[in-house]
């Protein structure tokens, strides 16, 4: 029997566990360790609450979780409750599937003023992440600036624009639902430091902005290259740019505006003890396609700034890390000495949920080749259980999670799939007996 520990139960972790099952059949036992008492990582805490069809992929992960040779070990923090060297002692392979839950910070003057929030915090707030439940972003202001031109910026702009009725069927948590329902925000500037051809927004997600009840996207066609140049883009990007161009034809007759501001690089945040304005420098593209400042600046009055400029994997002491890319140093998922990484911890925060599947399969195959089939000297589960018990760590099992899940469904708003528990203690309390 081979024993594998996967740290993190988000998409990367589950695809990898699925692939391990395929490679080893019944010859493997996988322990999936998560610091949260609930599984699914990004699916629960990252994917937007009004994108339930994307969240449905959790059903596939549930199948893996319910099989004999995979076990969910929730409420265990690696680094506090058990160390990497201890896990390497117990398992044939240890896979870091820890995602990229930390914000890259915008290093500009005033970037730490109250009212500047990172997307991990903001998304975590509306998705009920225990660490961000108390974020309390200022929504009693008239204008917000969203920095970045990726899909997360789109999520944030959309969530800030929606009416309560548009959250029907979503699982947005009660505290965010109620606060967003009373929001005074009427203008949202979405800033890209480069141009329309350089956006990192996918067509379906961008298209949604054209169909909001109370908000209309605004673009200035003067920012665009000649329409003929769109033919040079790859098909997906061309579709996104076509959506942007089409926004120019929409009547701006709704009370909220989502204004795309291209070639706009934030250089400072200013205000008396809180955000009052963003100072922006106009840019142009150099011959390599990078944004360079023109020296021309202007200000955007706003009371909230959400930075959506990417994420990073939290480093783990003793594990080699690439600071600039925000991920573990690895060669095709191999860190070395029995340690591997998958998903965003391996590649950095890029790609869709589906990108993690081939990624997980590749690493599982690599592990199969490295450790081989058959029996080894590693103890696996009983060793981990003994260690955690001796430290008084209370494990949450998948059965426990199913009870938490049922309790969340039972207390859902009408039409909503669940009302998430937000505090860890509430999650633990909902396990029942």
* 145 lies in the site for ligand NAP, by CB under 6 A: no
Show the site string, 345-364: x = touches ligand NAP by CB under 6 A, - = not: ----xxxx------------
Nearer of residues 147 and 422 to ligand NAP, judged by Cβ: 147
Residues from 279 through 298 that contact ligand NAP (CB under 6 A): 291
154 touches 240 (CB < 8 A) = no
Nearer of residues 51 and 366 to ligand NAP, judged by Cβ: 51
The minimum distance between CB 281 and ligand NAP, in angstroms, equals: 11
* 151 lies in the site for ligand NAP, by CB under 6 A: yes
Q: 149-171 burial string, b = 16+ CB within 10 Å, else e? A: bbbbbbbbbbbbbbeeebbeebb
Residues 6+ apart with CB under 8 A from 86: 387
The minimum distance between CB 236 and ligand NAP, in angstroms, equals: 11
How close are the terminal C-alpha atoms of the chain, in Å? 32
The SS3 assignment for 369 reads helix
The minimum distance between CB 293 and ligand NAP, in angstroms, equals: 12
Nearer of residues 138 and 310 to ligand NAP, judged by Cβ: 310
Nearer of residues 207 and 301 to ligand NAP, judged by Cβ: 207
The minimum distance between CB 229 and ligand NAP, in angstroms, equals: 18
The residue range among 12-20, 180-188, 254-262, 307-315 that interacts with ligand NAP, by the rule CB under 6 A, is 307-315
Q: What are phi and psi of 115, to 5 degrees?
A: 105, -10
E strands along 239-388, which residues? 256-261, 264-270, 277-285, 291-301, 304-307, 311-312, 321-322, 327-328, 334-336, 339-341
Query: Is residue 103 within a helix (H) or strand (E), and if so which, with residue range?
Result: strand 102-103
Nearer of residues 53 and 390 to ligand NAP, judged by Cβ: 53
149 touches 197 (CB < 8 A) = no
Residue of the chain from 17, 58, 93, 147 that contacts ligand NAP (CB under 6 A): 147
Greatest CA separation for the chain: 69
Report the 10 Å Cβ neighbour count for 196. 23
Residues from 93 through 112 that contact ligand NAP (CB under 6 A): 106
The minimum distance between CB 349 and ligand NAP, in angstroms, equals: 5
The residue range among 28-36, 148-156, 176-184, 335-343 that interacts with ligand NAP, by the rule CB under 6 A, is 148-156
* CA nearest neighbour of 401 among 40, 21, 14: 40
Residues from 180 through 219 that contact ligand NAP (CB under 6 A): 192-194, 198, 200, 202, 205
- Beta strand pairing call for 334-336 and 339-341: antiparallel
* CA nearest neighbour of 183 among 141, 136, 126: 141
Residue of the chain from 16, 57, 87, 152 that contacts ligand NAP (CB under 6 A): 152
Binding site for ligand NAP (CB under 6 A): 106, 147-153, 155, 192-194, 198, 200, 202, 205, 291, 308-311, 349-352
């Amino acid at each position: 029997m081979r024993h594998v520990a996967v740290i993190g139960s988000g998409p990367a972790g589950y695809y990898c566990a699925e692939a391990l099952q395929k490679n080893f059949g019944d010859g493997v036992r996988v322990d999936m360790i998560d610091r949260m008492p609930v599984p699914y990582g990004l699916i629960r805490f990252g994917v937007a609450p009004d994108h339930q069809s994307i969240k449905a992929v959790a059903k596939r992960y549930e199948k893996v979780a319910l099989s004999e040779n995979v076990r969910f070990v929730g409420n265990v923090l690696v680094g506090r409750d058990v160390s990497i060297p201890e896990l390497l002692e117990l398992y044939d392979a240890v896979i870091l599937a820890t995602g990229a839950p930390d914000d890259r910070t915008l290093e500009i003057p005033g970037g730490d003023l109250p009212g500047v929030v990172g997307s991990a915090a903001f998304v975590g707030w509306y998705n009920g992440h225990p660490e961000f439940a108390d974020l309390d972003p200022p929504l009693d202001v008239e204008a917000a600036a969203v920095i970045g031109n990726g899909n997360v910026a789109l999520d944030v702009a959309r969530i800030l624009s929606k009416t309560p009725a548009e959250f029907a069927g979503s699982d947005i948590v009660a505290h965010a639902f109620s606060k967003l329902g009373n929001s005074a925000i009427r203008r949202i500037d979405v800033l890209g430091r480069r141009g329309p051809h350089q956006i990192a927004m996918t067509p379906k997600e961008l298209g949604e902005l054209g169909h909001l009840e109370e908000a209309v996207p605004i673009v200035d066609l003067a920012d665009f290259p000649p329409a003929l140049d769109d033919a040079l883009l790859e098909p997906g990007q061309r579709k996104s740019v076509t959506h942007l161009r089409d926004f120019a034809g929409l009547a701006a007759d709704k009370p909220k505006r989502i204004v795309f501001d291209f070639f706009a690089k934030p250089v400072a945040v200013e205000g008396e003890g809180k955000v009052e304005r963003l100072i922006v420098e106009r840019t142009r593209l150099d011959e390599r396609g990078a944004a360079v400042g023109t020296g021309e600046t202007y200000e955007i009055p706003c009371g909230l700034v959400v930075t959506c400029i990417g994420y990073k994997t939290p480093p783990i002491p003793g594990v080699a890390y690439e600071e600039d890319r925000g991920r573990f140093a690895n060669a095709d998922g191999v860190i070395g000495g029995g340690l591997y990484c998958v998903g965003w911890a391996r590649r950095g925060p890029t790609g869709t949920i589906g990108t993690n599947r081939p990624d997980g399969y590749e690493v599982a195959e690599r592990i199969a080749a490295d450790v081989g089939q058959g029996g080894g000297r590693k103890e696996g589960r009983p060793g981990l259980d003994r260690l955690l018990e001796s430290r008084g760590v209370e494990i949450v099992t998948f059965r426990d999670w199913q009870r938490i899940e049922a309790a969340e469904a039972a207390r859902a708003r009408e039409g909503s799939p669940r009302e998430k528990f937000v505090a860890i203690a509430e999650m633990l309390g909902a396990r029942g007996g």
